[in-house]
Amino acid sequence: MDDALISLENVTKVYSGGTRALNEVTLSFEKEEWVTIMGPSGSGKTTLLNIIGCLDLPTSGIVRIDGKEVTGVGQAALTRLRRENVGLIFQQYHLIPYLTALENVMLAQYYHGNPDETKAVDALKNVGLEHRLDHLPAHLSGGEQQRVCIARALINDPAILLADEPTGNLDQTNGNVVLDLIQRLHKEGRAIVLVTHNPDISGIGDRTIRIVDGNVEQDSKPGGDRNGK
Amino acid sequence: MFVQLLRKSILRRKSRFAMGVASVLIGAAVVTALLTVSLGVGDQVGQEFTKYGANLILQPQSNTIEIGLPGINMGSVTEQKYINESDLWMIKTIQYRANVLGFAPFLYQMVTVGDGPSAQEAVMAGTYFNKTIQIIQPVSPQDPSEFTTGIADVSSWWKVTGNWITDQNDTTSAMVGSNVAQKLNLTVGDSFKVGYAGAQNNSASSNVKELKVAGIVESGGAEDNQIFANLPVAQDLSSRPGKVDTVQLSALCVRCPVEDIASEIQGKLPGVAGTTIKQLTNAEMGMLEKYQSMMAFVTAVALLASTMGIFTTMTASVAERRKEIGLMKSIGAENRSIASLFLAEATLIGLIGGITGYGVGIVLAQFIGLSVFSTTIPLKWEVLTVVIPIAIGVSLLASALPVRRATAVEPAIVLRGE
């Protein structure tokens, strides 16, 4: 567990309304590992992603990223950890509608403190959007918006890429393009944590975790369960 | 990147930004208009107050000598004293000289009007109607060397049938009180003879004058029983050249009591005592205070309305951009980055609203000046240096709570799909 990129020890998350989203979850994610998280709606997988991505803190338990304890740090430190370690890919893409593709990518650089247009152009070239640099999100297809989102997630070279239903809003062709891209990034050495409902995708990764009612019900690698189930 | 982000986010929400600017504009326009008016029409307000008449009377200090034997009081005698007309210019050399709006000297005497058995006694007052006084030693080089004043400045409420005397050298015209005119059956244009009652045994021709009625005065007061002529006429008639009994003075002092003006004049003009007409002074001060309170109240209401307008605009803007704020935070924006974006927008709203509000306020000030004071108001650039910081301040203050809400947006909302 010491070599783990992300580790969760007895992590519980209870929301202010009393909803128990995660219940004593203990998990670890290795460097360069692709983990797919599955589960029905309301099972706690988004909460798990929020905590892994330093977007939220657990009510109790310990979270470590690259050996550093995340729990107990302030909001500003959490923002720094997120900025330096995590890239986020959203189902809804979440691009700023009044900024061009290039500017959306550069915004992540700006918050990281190192805007570099050449690097941002290269990131968009890398996802096949060199001809769409100055287009607003409204003028891009869903697949193209998702690729801008991926370029933005990668621009600061994070160790972990978190993807929340990255193909959920895309047709099969565009979905395959995006998945191919994520696979390529994984091969380049990035850890991927991907949340999906789609059972076809669950087989792509190194490991699949199934969450039900805030508990880890299944944690399996192709060819054998990690937790012995 | 910050400027690009700010510019594009404003351009995307042009109408909301315009609403914010409009809110500031209203407050800035009212502040500009009232400040410009109050700075520009101070003199006009003063002139308005002269309509209420004199509020300070100068009289010679008299020496009263008690007479009698030890233990037996036989009364007192008062030595007749005068103010020297040649000293009057010194009134305009006091520290509060700008607050002296006008004055008129008076030399009173009992005169016989008419001849023979129909002759009547009346009080005649020599005064200034429209006199230009030379200020022999102005206090500063910026001060004017002359001052034109007269009874019209301290008794402008008089109802006059016919004309005012306007020529300071006119020694043949008089203005007659309405009661005197009625008793002597005088109308405008009639001539009448006046003789100084105290010189009945004196045959000097200067003690009888023939005067022509220029106007008939109706004031509802003692003036209705008096005859008014230029001061030299009265001085000549009673052989008291250069002498004055009293001076009525219209003074206005916003930041100091009229008593201060009275005591300053006493210091400058030897042997003169100043008495304030408290009731009038207090009423004038009260009116000025009410005028200032009303302006402060209107300004406060306008600024409150601006604050509410910006607060509503910024609150709506933050609510609309909640997802965008969450996204910015999720990709690494710190609270200060989010706050600076909204505060920069608020500053721009304040700046643009302040500048446009200043322009509108100037127009509004001219409208107030023309409709209330019948004069245009001079442009006051210093008002801009007050209005812009107020506009930006109000905009930032009103944005404080919405900005706090913006920084409280959790980045996790982008994944929760709220």
User: What is the count of structural domains for chain B?
Assistant: 2
Beta-carbon separation of A111 and B5 below 8 A: no
A24 contact partners, CB below 8 Å, separation of at least 6: A10, A11, A12, A61, A215
B177 shares a domain with B308: no
Provide the shortest C-alpha distance from residue B310 to chain A (in Å): 23
B5 in contact with A at a CB cutoff of 8 Å? yes
Residue B14, judged by CB atoms within 10 A of its CB (0-12, 13-18, 19+), counts as: exposed
**One domain, residues B326 and B404:** yes
Asked if B135 and B143 touch (Cβ cutoff 8 Å), the reply is yes
A99/B8 touch (CB, cutoff 8 Å), yes or no: yes
pLDDT of residue B229: 94
Instruction: Note the pLDDT tens digit of each residue in B60-77.
Output: 887 666 666 666 666 666
Lowest average pLDDT, out of B62-71, B244-253, B320-329, goes to B62-71
Specify whether B176 is located in the same domain as B319. no
For the stretch B155-198, pLDDT in tens is 877 889 999 998 888 999 999 999 989 888 889 999 998 888 66
- Say if the Cβ atoms of A111 and B328 lie within 8 Å: yes
The verdict on B30 and B125 lying in the same domain is: no
B174 and B306 share a domain?
no
Of A93-102, A220-229, B54-63, B280-289, the poorest mean pLDDT is in A220-229
- CATH numbers and ranges of domains, chain A: 30-51+74-225 (3.40.50.300)
B339: closest CA of chain A, how far (Å): 13
- Determine the average pLDDT of the residues in B292-310: 88
In a shared domain, residues B31 and B150: no
Please answer yes or no on whether A50 and B337 come within 8 Å at the CB atom: no
Q: What is the pLDDT of residue B346?
A: 94
The phi, psi pair for B363, rounded to 5°, reads: -65, -45
- The CA distance from A123 to A116, in Å, is 11
Which residue among A46, A97, A111 places its CB closest to the CB of B331?
A: A111
Percentage, residues of chain B above pLDDT 70: 85
Tell me whether residues B414 and A49 touch, CB distance under 8 A.
no
CB within 8 Å: A55 and B415: yes
The predicted structure's pLDDT at residue B314: 92
Nearest alpha carbon to residue A213 among A50, A42, A29, A63: A42
The vertex-B120 CA angle with B118 and B123, nearest 5°, equals: 160
- Neighboring chain A residues of B2 at a CB cutoff of 8 Å: 110
Residue of A nearest to B9 (CA): A98
- Closest Cβ–Cβ partner in A50, A55, A106 for B1: A106
Nearest CA in chain B to A108: B331
Is a pLDDT exceeding 70 seen at residue B247?
yes
Indicate if B355 and B260 belong to the same structural domain. Answer: no
A94-103, B45-54, B252-261: range with highest mean pLDDT: A94-103
B368-371 LR contacts (CB < 8 Å, sep 24+)? B368/B33, B368/B37, B369/B37, B369/B40, B369/B41, B369/B44
Same domain, B303 and B258: no
Q: Does B190 touch chain A (CB under 8 A)?
A: no
pLDDT higher than threshold 90 for residue B274: no
Are B309 and B266 contained in the same domain?
no
Statement: residue B46 has pLDDT above 80? no
**Beta-bridge partner residues of B56:** B249, B276
Chain B residues in contact with A41 by the CB 8 A cut-off are none
Q: Are residues B253 and B115 in the same domain?
A: yes
Question: pLDDT at position A228, please?
Answer: 35
Q: Which of residues 302-341 of B touch A (CB under 8 A)?
A: 323-324, 327-335, 337
Q: Is the pLDDT of residue B202 over 60?
A: no
Residue B281 lies in a domain: no
Each residue of A147-186: pLDDT tens digit? 899 899 888 888 889 988 888 877 888 788 888 888 888 8
Question: What are the tens digits of pLDDT across the range B129-157?
Answer: 988 988 888 888 888 888 888 987 778 77
Average per-residue pLDDT for chain B: 84
Write out chain A residues lying below 8 Å of B339, CB-based.
none
Which residue from A minimizes the CA distance to B10?
A: A98
Cβ of A79 and B4 within 8 Å?
no
B8: nearest CB among A53, A76, A98: A98
Domain end among B253, B276, B299? B276
Supply the pLDDT for residue A227.
Answer: 42
pLDDT higher than 90, residue A129: no
- Residue in chain B nearest A76 by alpha carbon: B334
* pLDDT over threshold 70, residue B310: yes
Comparing B15-24, B65-74, B357-366, the range with the smallest average pLDDT is: B65-74
CB contact under 8 A, B323 and A50: no
Residue B76's pLDDT is: 65
A83 closest CB neighbour out of B2, B332, B335: B332
Residue B314 in any domain: the answer is: yes
B50 located within any domain: no
Q: Give the domain extent around B161.
A: 55-68+76-276
pLDDT(B16) > 60: yes
B16 interfaces chain A, CB cutoff of 8 Å: no
Task: With respect to residue B341, please indicate whether it lies within any of the assigned structural domains.
Answer: yes
**Mutation target vs B (from A49, A52, A75; most B CBs, 10 A cutoff):** A75
How far does B7 lie from chain A, in Å, by closest CA? 10
Instruction: Please report residues of B whose CB lies closer than 8 A to that of A55.
Output: 330, 410-412, 414-415
- B370 in a domain, yes or no? yes
The shortest CB-CB distance from B416 to any of A46, A75, A110 is to A46
Closest CA to B412 of A159, A56, A204, A26: A56
ipTM of this complex: 0.87
pLDDT tens sequence across B260-270: 888 888 888 87
Q: Pick from B276, B300, B335: which residue ends a domain?
A: B276
Asked if A99 is an interface residue toward chain B (Cβ–Cβ < 8 A), one would say yes
Query: What is the reported pLDDT for A14?
Result: 92
| The pLDDT value given to residue B340 | 94
Q: Which comes out higher in pLDDT, residue A27 or B63?
A: A27
Q: What single string gives the DSSP state of each residue in A185-202?
A: HHHTT-EEEEE-S-HHHH
**Per-residue pLDDT band at A55 (split at 50, 70, 90):** confident
Last residue of a domain, one of B245, B276, B307: B276
Closest CB to A79 among B9, B334, B416: B334
Examine the domain organization and report whether B329 and B271 are in the same domain: no
According to the model, what pLDDT value does residue B61 have? 81
Nearest CA in chain B to A100: B8
Give which of A183, A176, A185, A137 is closest to A157, Cα–Cα.
A185
Cβ-nearest to A96 among B324, B329, B417: B324
- Nearest CB to B332 within list A50, A56, A108: A108
For residues B299 and B372, membership in a common domain is answered with yes
Rg (CA), chain B: 33
- Residue where the block lists tokens 């209401």: B301
Q: Is residue B269 assigned to a domain?
A: yes
Interchain contact, A50 vs B412, CB within 8 Å: yes
Q: Does A50 touch chain B (CB under 8 A)?
A: yes
Check CB contact of A73 with chain B, cutoff 8 Å: no
* Per-residue DSSP letter, A221: E
A128 Cβ partners below 8 Å, 6+ apart?
Answer: A147, A177
Question: Residue A56: which of B328, B337, B412 has the nearest Cβ?
Answer: B412
Q: What is the distance between the alpha carbons of residues B54 and A148, in angstroms, rounded to a whole number?
A: 82
B204: Cβ contacts below 8 Å, ≥ 6 apart? B239
What crossing angle do the helices spanning A117-126 and A101-112 adopt, rounded to 10°? 120
The angle subtended at Cα A150 by Cα A145 and Cα A155, nearest 5°, is 125
| Pairs of CB atoms within 8 A across A/B | 79
Mean pLDDT, chain A, rounded, equals: 85
CA distance A105 to chain B (A): 10
b/e A47-81 (16+ beta carbons within 10 angstroms → b): bbbbbbbbbbbbeebebbbbeeebbebeeeebbbb
Per-residue pLDDT of A73-118, as tens digits, reads 888 888 888 888 889 988 888 899 999 999 999 999 999 888 889 9
